[in-house]
Amino acid sequence: MKRIAACAALAAALLASQAAPAAAPGPAQASAATTVRIKNFEFLPGTLHVSKGTRVLFSNATAGTTHTATDRGAFDTGQIKGGRAAEVRFGQKGTFSYHCKIHPFMHGKIVVG
């Protein structure tokens, strides 16, 4: 009986250790290396410098408003609803000027060095 209890505990520990981080798009999380917050129709920070290979989490902090982060030909998060986030990995050096497809006046820049 004691042995069975020990096995159950071990199985629970194994399951807990296998809990993987949620894939993007998903709830806003601090798991990505760097985060761009989308708030008050702005990308914050407006210009972000990262090293090649960095995963950037675009986190929409505006309830009830959907945004995108889009650089045609380079990346597109698709629609990110309020309270949600989408992750983009920047594997190439360069400057990526992006905007929100829904609110084209919203602009941001990712500088990958």
Site of interaction with Cu ion (CB under 5 A): 67, 100, 102-103
Least distance between Cu ion and beta carbon 106 (Å): 5
CB closer to Cu ion, 24 vs 68: 68
- 24, HSE (Cβ side, Cα atoms, 13 Å): 22
Q: How far is the C-alpha of 54 from the C-alpha of 33, rounded, in Å? A: 7
CB closer to Cu ion, 31 vs 81: 81
CB closer to Cu ion, 81 vs 103: 103
Q: How far is the C-alpha of 29 from the C-alpha of 13, rounded, in Å? A: 23
Least distance between Cu ion and beta carbon 29 (Å): 21
Q: Measure Cα distances from 10 to 1, 3, 41, 73 in Å.
A: 15, 11, 48, 48
Least distance between Cu ion and beta carbon 101 (Å): 8
Backbone phi, then psi, for 7, in 5-degree steps? -65, -40
Least distance between Cu ion and beta carbon 3 (Å): 58
Under 8 Å between Cβ of 15 and 57: no
CB closer to Cu ion, 89 vs 103: 103
